[in-house]
Structure 1
Amino acid sequence: MISFYLFLTGTYLYYCQSKYFPSELYKFRTSWSSWLASAFFGIGTMLFVRAEGWISGLLVAVCALSLSLMLIQFTAVLGKAYFYCLVALAHGLVLIDLFF
């Protein structure tokens, strides 16, 4: 779950720099956010590779990246309530994963 959370965060950092990102949502505006997003993708991929092995980890990382791209773009277009519910759900699942 931590790896997927890193992919979601990295996707958000990339997508909020896009001109298609909705203006009513909070934008993370810094010049180094793409570097941070790349670091999150790399760390998430390494965690998947460490847990699953080389080939399976890379395949799961590609699937996690495509799922996070779909979730971020879909919920951002639907509006604030859906986007912030996705954020709350992701944080809740990470906390559950860390404590249990």
Structure 2
Amino acid sequence: MKVRYELHGGLVTAILNPGPTATEPVTLEEIFVREEARGRGYATELLTRICSDVDAVSAVLILSVDPGLDGLTYAQLVAWYERHGFQGSPDDDVMIRPAG
């Protein structure tokens, strides 16, 4: 599994932190879409690829929702991650995608 993902010439990137052992969750540290590439589905394409790679090793994928300064709102991000199989808790910003 990759640690750094890049699509469309670097317009969309992601960084994963695999757990220290095969039984530890994989953390999606960052997914970033350059402003000029937003709204084209590139982030969805990349997250789909990441989920597929993580599923291939039967790992749990976790992340912390952080909308940043100029992207989607917190609620929009939560809804987007939910469409990709992540589950959240109203008590914190962590979302978990069970092993597939």
Q: TM-score, normalised by structure 1?
A: 0.31
Would you tell me which structure has more helix in proportion to its own residues? 1
Relative contact order, higher structure (CA 8 A, sep 6+): 1
**Larger Cα-atom Rg:** 1
